Chains A and B, each alone.
Chain A
C-alpha cells in the first residue's frame, strides 16, 4: 500500500457532482431520440429522432470524460483508500454479472428455438396436426435455412473467418494477461507493447466481423429478416460485437493512461476493470462460437 493512501483511511464520499444528472439527461435524450428515430426509420420519414439521439450521444460523451476525469484526478490525489477500491471491484464484478444475464436471454432464445420452437413447428411432441395443417412442407432442421413461410437463406460456416476470429480473441486475452503481468512487475515498455497488441487484435476481430456481415448479406442471403436462425445469429454476434467495441474503447483509454504514466502495482483498478471486461467478452465469444457457429 502506498503511504499516501494510508493517511486518508476514511471512506471517500465525493462532494456534489453535476455528472450524474448530465448522464441521466444523456440517457433520456438517447432513449427519446432512438425511439423516435426507430419509428421514423420504419416509416421512412424524415424526423427529429436522429438529432436528439446524436445530441444524447454527445452529452453522454461529455459526461463520461468529465466524470472519469474527476475520478482519475481524485484517485491520483490519493483520496481513495483500499476499501473504496474494493467497492469499485465489486461494482464492476456485479456489472459483468448483469451482462452475463443479458447474453443469457439471447442464448435462452437460441436454445428455445432450436430445441423447442422449431421441432414443434415441424410436428414434434404432440404437434403433428399443427405441422400438417399449417405448414405441411416445413422441415425442422438447424440451421433453419427455410422458415415455415418459405424464406430461405444459407447457413454461416464455422471454418475460415469465424475460426480465425476465435483464435484472434483468445490470443488477445493472453496478450492482455501478459500486459497485466508486465504491470505487476513494473515493466512499462512491455506493458505498453502488449496492450497495443491486444487493441490491434481486437480491432482486427471487429474488421473481420464486419466483413463477415457483408459476406452474409451479399453472398449467403443471411439477413436480419431470414427467420429465427438469422435473428439469433445477428443479435448474438451483434451484441457481442458491440461489447468488443466497448472493450476496445476502454483499452484504448487505458493505453492513454499508461502512456501518461498512470497505474502501478497497487493502483490499477481502471486497468483491471477493462481487463476483466475483455476476458468476459472473450468467454462470451467462445460460447457463441460453439453454439452459434459449430453445433
Chain B
C-alpha cells in the first residue's frame, strides 16, 4: 500500500485557510489537535513524572543510607520501589519518547501533522487521568501497590492490598493510550511521508520509532491480558496463577515478560534513533552504515520476542528452555554491537565538537554499553543464579535505562530545544547539567555492581552491615543526581520563556534533515504542502 502513497500527495494549491492561527489560552492545550502542542504536553508531563518518580527514589535512597530501619517502614518502602518503577517506565520514559515522536516525526518526514490528530490528543490526556488514579491509591487503606513494578503473582493477588484494582484499571487505560499513540505513529510513517521520502531515506529516529510502535501494538495488549488475569484471580476467584486450581504462578511471569522484554526495547530503540541523529551532526560525517542500522533495529525487535525467559532462569525451567533463552539473549548482543560499532565508526576521523547534545550522546554510547555488558553477564544462566534479584540487576537496568534511555532523551531535548522554542539553551547551565549528571550517575549506579555481586538483594529496606559503605556512597550519588536534574528544569524553563539567543533555522552546522529547513521556532503548522525530498 505504501507504493502509491507519494503520487496522491500532489502539491496542489489548495486553499490555505486554517493556518498559522494559533488558538490561545487553556483551550489551546485541552482541545488541541496539533502535533507540536501535543508533543510539548507529553514532554512536560513526562518531566513532571520524572521528578515525582525521582523523589520516590530519593526516599528509597534515604532509607538505605544506613543499615537498619530509619525513616520509612518496610511496607511503605515497598510502595516506593513499586511506584518508582511504574512511574519511571510508564510515566517518564515512554511518554518522553512519544512526545519526541510527536514533535519530530511529522517534521522529519514532511507531513502536515500526525495521521490521526484527534486520537493523538486522546492518547495524551488519558495519561494524567491514569496517573492520578494510580497515585490516589496512596490514600487508600493499605496504601499504594507494593508488589514491585513487575507485580508478580501471588504478591499482586493473594498478598496485595485493595489498591490492586486501581492499579489494574489504570494500567488498562495507560495501555490504551500507548496503543493509540503507537497506531498514530505507525500510520503516520506509513502513510504521510512526503513524495520521495521512501523508507530507506527516513531518518533513523523515524525508523526506530516505526519498529517501536510495532512492538508497542504487539505487547501492550498482552500486558492488558495479564493485568486482567491478576484482577480476576484477586477479586473473582479464578486461579490462573494458583496451583491449587490448576494454574501456575510461573505462568504470570511468562506472560508478564513476554510483554516486559519487548517493553525494555520499546524504551531503548528510540534512543538509538536519537543518538544516530546527533553523532553524525557533531562529527560532521554521515552516519556510518545506515542500512545496517535499520536491519539491526529490526533484528533486535524480532529477537526481543524470543528472550523473555531470561528473567526467569531461577524459576526452575527445564534445562533446554534455559539454554534456548540464554543463547537467544546473547544473540541480541550482535545487532546491538553493530550499532555501537557504527556510532564509533561515524566518529572516527570526524571533525568533532562537543556541544551538550553530543556530550550526552557520547556518554550514552559508553555507559549504555556498560549496561549491555552487564546484561550479557546476566544472560549466562548459571551465573544468573547468583546475580538474580541482587543489586547487580539494579545496576544493569539503570545503566541501560538512565544512562541509556534518559541520557538520550536529554540529548534529544538539547538538540531540538532551539527548534522547539526558537532560542538557544543556556550553554553554561546545560554543561553544568551534563557534568553533574555524568559524575553523579556513576557514583549512584556503578557501586551497585559491587554490592550486587557481593550478594545484596534488591527490594529490601534493610541490609547486612558489610554493605554499609557502598550504600552510603550510592545514596550520596542518588541525591546529587536527583538535584542535578533541577538544572535541566531551569534550562527548559528559560527556553520556554524565550530567554536566550535567538536560534537560527539550523543551529548545528552538521545537522541534516527536513526539520532544519523550517524556521526556529517551528511554525505552528509545517509542511501543509509536502516538501520535495
Q: How far is the CA of A113 from the CA of B182 in the complex (A)?
A: 31
Contact A228 B245 (CB under 8 A): yes
Contact of A32 among B27, B166, B232, B525 (CB under 8 A): B166
Shortest CB-to-CB span from B106 to chain A, Å, is 10
Closest A residue to B174 using CB positions: A31
Q: Which residues of A contact B121 (CB under 8 A)?
A: 17, 20-21
Shortest CB-to-CB span from A88 to chain B, Å, is 8
Q: Which residues of A contact B306 (CB under 8 A)?
A: none
Shortest CB-to-CB span from B321 to chain A, Å, is 10
Q: How far is the CA of A109 from the CA of B228 in the complex (A)?
A: 12
Contact B126 A28 (CB under 8 A): yes
Contact B248 A31 (CB under 8 A): no
Confirm or deny: A112 has a beta carbon within 8 angstroms of a beta carbon on chain B. Answer: yes
**A-contact bits for B4-16, CB 8 A (1 contact / 0 none):** 0100111010100
Interface segment, A7-15, A249-257, A274-282?
Answer: A7-15
| Residues of chain B in range 207-264 having any CB-CB distance to chain A below 8 Å | 217-222, 224-226, 228-229, 231-232, 234-240, 243-248, 250-251, 254-255, 258
In the complex where A10-B12, A24-B129 touch, is A105 in contact with B251 (Cβ < 8 A)?
A: no
Contact of A28 among B130, B228, B529 (CB under 8 A): B130
Confirm or deny: A264 has a beta carbon within 8 angstroms of a beta carbon on chain B. Answer: no
In the complex where A38-B165, A39-B165 touch, is A27 in contact with B14 (Cβ < 8 A)?
A: no
Confirm or deny: A158 has a beta carbon within 8 angstroms of a beta carbon on chain B. Answer: no
Confirm or deny: B467 has a beta carbon within 8 angstroms of a beta carbon on chain A. Answer: no
Contact A91 B254 (CB under 8 A): no
User: Which one of B136, B169, B217 has the greatest number of beta carbons of chain A within 10 Å?
Assistant: B169
Contact B245 A147 (CB under 8 A): yes
Confirm or deny: A81 has a beta carbon within 8 angstroms of a beta carbon on chain B. Answer: yes
Q: Which residues of A contact B304 (CB under 8 A)?
A: none
In the complex where A94-B183, A148-B245 touch, is A14 in contact with B255 (Cβ < 8 A)?
A: no
Do most interface residues of chain A lie in helix, strand or loop, or is the interface mixed? helix
Confirm or deny: A258 has a beta carbon within 8 angstroms of a beta carbon on chain B. Answer: no
Shortest CB-to-CB span from A238 to chain B, Å, is 10
Interface segment, A115-123, A186-194, A207-215?
Answer: A115-123
Contact B217 A94 (CB under 8 A): yes
Shortest CB-to-CB span from A2 to chain B, Å, is 14
Shortest CB-to-CB span from B189 to chain A, Å, is 10
Q: How far is the CA of A92 from the CA of B414 in the complex (A)?
A: 36
Q: How far is the CA of A31 from the CA of B525 in the complex (A)?
A: 35
Contact A91 B1 (CB under 8 A): no
Q: How far is the CA of A16 from the CA of B37 in the complex (A)?
A: 11
Shortest CB-to-CB span from B372 to chain A, Å, is 28
Confirm or deny: B132 has a beta carbon within 8 angstroms of a beta carbon on chain A. Answer: yes
Contact A90 B190 (CB under 8 A): yes
User: Which one of A19, A20, A91, A94 has the greatest number of beta carbons of chain B within 10 Å?
Assistant: A20
Confirm or deny: A217 has a beta carbon within 8 angstroms of a beta carbon on chain B. Answer: no
Closest A residue to B236 using CB positions: A224
Contact A24 B122 (CB under 8 A): yes
Q: How far is the CA of A18 from the CA of B372 in the complex (A)?
A: 45
A-B CB contact pairs (8 Å), 29 listed: A9-B12, A10-B528, A13-B33, A16-B31, A16-B33, A18-B30, A20-B33, A20-B118, A31-B133, A35-B168, A38-B231, A39-B162, A81-B8, A82-B8, A91-B115, A94-B187, A101-B222, A102-B224, A105-B225, A117-B248, A125-B318, A144-B246, A224-B238, A225-B236, A225-B237, A227-B246, A228-B240, A230-B238, A235-B229
In the complex, besides A28-B129, A108-B254, 15 extra interface pairs with C-beta distance below 8 angstroms are: A9-B14, A14-B33, A16-B27, A16-B31, A19-B118, A30-B173, A67-B118, A94-B186, A98-B183, A105-B226, A112-B254, A147-B239, A228-B239, A228-B246, A231-B239
